[in-house]
A and B are shown apart, each in its own frame.
Chain A
Amino acid sequence: MKSREQEYKEIFIAEALEYFDALNRHISDLERNPQDDHVLAEIFRLLHNLKANAKAIGYLQISDVSHKLETAFSLIRNKELSFSDEVVTVLFDGIDMLGELISNIDNPGAGEPDPVLLRNLDIIVDNLSDSTIELAKVQKYNTSRKLSLSDLIYIQIKKLDHLLNLVGELMIDRDRILSISRDLNNDELMSVSSHLYRITEELQYSVMDARLVNVGSLFNKFPRIVRDIAVAEKKEVNLELIGQDIQIDRNILQIITDSLLHLVRNAITHGIEKPEERLKAGKPKEGRLALTARNDRENVIIRLTDDGKGIDFKQVKRAAIDRKMVTADAVDNLPQAELLSFLFEPGFSLAKEVTEYSGRGVGLDVVKNAIDSIGGRINIESERGKGTSFILRLPTSIAVKGALLFEVDDIYYAIPLIHTESVVSMDISELHEVGDVLLADIKGETITVVYLNELLNAPQEQMRLGDATKLKGQVQNIIIVSYNNRKLGLIVDKLYRQQDIVVKSLKKPLDNIDIYGGVTLLGTGKVCLVLDVPAITRFFTNRR
């Protein structure tokens, strides 16, 4: 936590010094062209930001001086104070003092700002054009100022993307070298390669770290958005933000931005009731919306909770039957989790009316696709009358994923751990042929199980997923994957280990073949195909 504060402080100082440089530049311009409104507006903006930032982080002297200067410039802007020589001197002095204060943040012995100068600032602000009060002479104290460059640089995310890709390539080669050095059993090579391993690992984490941003950078945009939607919908909503300082890869945050906006809109328009309805239901007039982030092992969990009316399961059932996703007989036996998963089907909408903010045909399927694309997961929890929660489980980083390695028909495959529930071994006799699939009782839950070899390799017309005679051997290794609240067991030929992999996306012309999330190279140099669990599940459900 300490280091996080330190980081904020460093960012503040770097930004403040940049503002200080810009102020110096602009005020010099202004001295030459006192009529230039653009320059004046820019100075005003810089001082305003500096004031706000300083106040937020607790540097009250800086915010105070910025405030005084801002007031002076606002008077100049309103033509209530002329940009005369006397005033110019005071303003220059004031800006110098700001610079002094900023560079002395880390130096508590620097003392208070010069009271004479502060008084001069007050005089020009308070007495306007009344020049009867003398401006005191201020001792110029920093004629020998030091020039310094900022400790912070801005960098295009593209450059960091490139860096991360290179690190990914490097990791693949590193694993290969490590594997070769084991095979050769050469001590020197082994020691070099294990050193290489450590350095690459550190490099990987450093690059990943450089890409992290606070979830707050997205969360903090919502208070205003929530207010606007609530006003338009004539609702009262109180938004609570928790965990803004949780860190996540910038690109992941970028990809979920639209999704989160969509969910927030939905929550206000369809979730939270109008004040009078809420009062009738015995709830406080003001609806509660909470956006929280927290870390869970390698993942970041973002949760959006409303205390609105919850999802109407009856309506979901009806809509699912109307769209022939399920038969009327079967629908009552479906667990709630399965019902909720219908909400993510394309074109499935419960919205009856189109408002400015919701019901425009962009459904939850779009949200789901976005989350899928970064290898995340989304779940819904809902209780009638109590409210709804959307839970987004997101990877912290895009490039490196924990994955389970296995083999099917002599080809290496990997499945990202974020989609795996568990791994079980089962005797073939415990798999029951029911219809055209296999069913197994796994920890008290009946789960559909398929032989991955058949699913991947049998000609589509002859695919017999329910035929246990296709299985090899007596004991079957099953990976239980989960997607959209549904579980599916995949029988694999050989199960290997859990490993961090760098997923390379497939290039054209294979990039449209969606059952693969990408490929990776194993230490042995062999290509390993990374299965995309959402697409595999879809492929399974659409097989007929």
Chain B
Amino acid sequence: MVQAKNGNNQQVQEPEVNTTEQASAGADNARENNPKNARPEELVHLVVFKLGTESYGIKIEQVKEVTVTPAITRMPRTPHFIKGVANIRGDIIAIMNLEERFGIRPAPVSDTEAVSTTYTLVIEAKDYSIGVVVREVPQSLNIAMSKIDKAPAFLQDISINENYIEGIAKVNNQLIVVLDMFKILTNDEIKQLASE
């Protein structure tokens, strides 16, 4: 079990080392491009995971912990994207599947991956927590704030409510959709959950 506490720069898992290096290289470039700017550029620490075939990121402050997905108890008559509830350290929290939430086609599963474990990001909102299931080991990534394009034009065209998207980050040809999990969990969403 891997813990990533708020504001902690500790890396989430070993495999992300490369990404971080690339990312900080990117940040260095940014700094070189602006030599007059004496202040080092503001960095964002993201937890990056895959939904479908694309990469999505959440700011690490919103992630309480990353764990191997525990046993999930299905809850009948809840919205389809709620996988159920799980006991995480004595807290019983809802587990959500964002792919189903946003209608993202899951990536085809190869035979070797078929039995692989999934991971759960525990997102901590103000007065409750919720788990988000992801397929691969989430990566940790530091990028410059300026790398996040806050309002790209195509946002209106995609199936994810634009309010949920904080921006799009481009890091070494990799496109990362940065989600604002708190907005996903705000009142609107909860009402929608209840009415479904």
Contact = CB atoms under 8 A, between A and B. Distances in A.
Given A508-B128, A512-B191, 8 more contacts: A173-B90, A504-B92, A508-B125, A508-B130, A508-B190, A513-B77, A521-B92, A529-B85
Contacts of A173: 90
B90 A516 contact: no
Interface in B95-142: 125, 127-130
B193 to A, nearest CB: 5
Interface residues of B, number: 26
Interface in A448-465: 456-457
B189 interface: yes
A284 interface: no
A162 interface: no
Contacts of B74: 411
A519 B92 contact: yes
B127 to A, nearest CB: 7
B87 A521 contact: yes
Interface in B35-79: 71, 73-78
A515 B87 CA distance: 20
A508 B184 CA distance: 12
B30 interface: no
Contacts of A519: 85, 92
A515 B193 CA distance: 14
A412 B125 CA distance: 28
Contacts of B27: none
A472 interface: no
A444 B194 CA distance: 40
Given A504-B92, A521-B90, A527-B92, A510 B85 contact: yes
A529 to B, nearest CB: 6
A505 B185 CA distance: 18
A508 B86 contact: no
B90 A509 contact: no
Contacts of B76: 409, 411, 456-457
24 contacts: A409-B76, A412-B73, A457-B76, A506-B85, A507-B94, A507-B127, A508-B128, A508-B185, A508-B190, A509-B94, A509-B128, A509-B130, A509-B185, A509-B190, A509-B193, A510-B85, A510-B94, A510-B193, A512-B193, A521-B90, A521-B92, A526-B73, A526-B87, A529-B85
B132 to A, nearest CB: 12
Contacts of A169: 90
Main secondary structure of the interface of A (DSSP, over half): mixed
Contacts of B87: 521, 525-527
Contacts of B185: 508-509
Contacts of A248: none
A509 B75 CA distance: 13
Interface in A508-542: 508-510, 512-513, 515-516, 519, 521, 525-527, 529, 539
Contacts of A526: 71, 73, 87
Contact of B93 (A507, A512, A529, A539): A507
The 7 nearest A-B residue pairs measured at CB: A512-B194, A456-B76, A507-B128, A527-B73, A508-B128, A509-B190, A509-B193
A360 to B, nearest CB: 28
Interface of B: 71, 73-78, 82, 85-87, 90, 92-94, 125, 127-130, 185, 189-191, 193-194
A503 to B, nearest CB: 11
Most buried by A among B78, B82, B125: B78
Nearest to A539: B77
B73 A529 contact: yes
Contacts of A172: 90
Most buried by A among B85, B125, B129: B85
B125 A529 contact: no
A409 B90 CA distance: 24
B93 to A, nearest CB: 7
Interface string A168-181: 01001100000000
B77 A456 contact: yes
B173 to A, nearest CB: 36
B76 to A, nearest CB: 4
A539 B77 CA distance: 10
B125 A513 contact: no
A112 to B, nearest CB: 60
A169 B87 CA distance: 12
A464 to B, nearest CB: 16
A380 B178 CA distance: 57
Given A509-B94, A510-B94, A513-B194, A527 B85 contact: yes
Contacts of A529: 73, 75, 85
A172 B90 CA distance: 8
Contacts of B82: 509-510
A543 B183 CA distance: 33
A513 B78 contact: yes
Most buried by B among A172, A173, A526, A529: A529
Most buried by B among A456, A509, A527: A509
Contacts of B191: 512
A539 B78 CA distance: 13
Contacts of A456: 76-77
A509 B189 contact: yes
A440 B3 CA distance: 54
Contact of A512 (B75, B86, B128, B190): B190
Nearest to B82: A510
Most buried by A among B77, B78, B85, B189: B77
A215 to B, nearest CB: 33
Contact of A516 (B75, B93, B189): B75
A158 B86 CA distance: 28
Nearest to A170: B90
A173 B89 CA distance: 10
Contact of B129 (A411, A506, A507): A507
Contacts of B90: 169, 172-173, 521
A521 B130 CA distance: 18
Interface in A490-513: 504, 506-510, 512-513
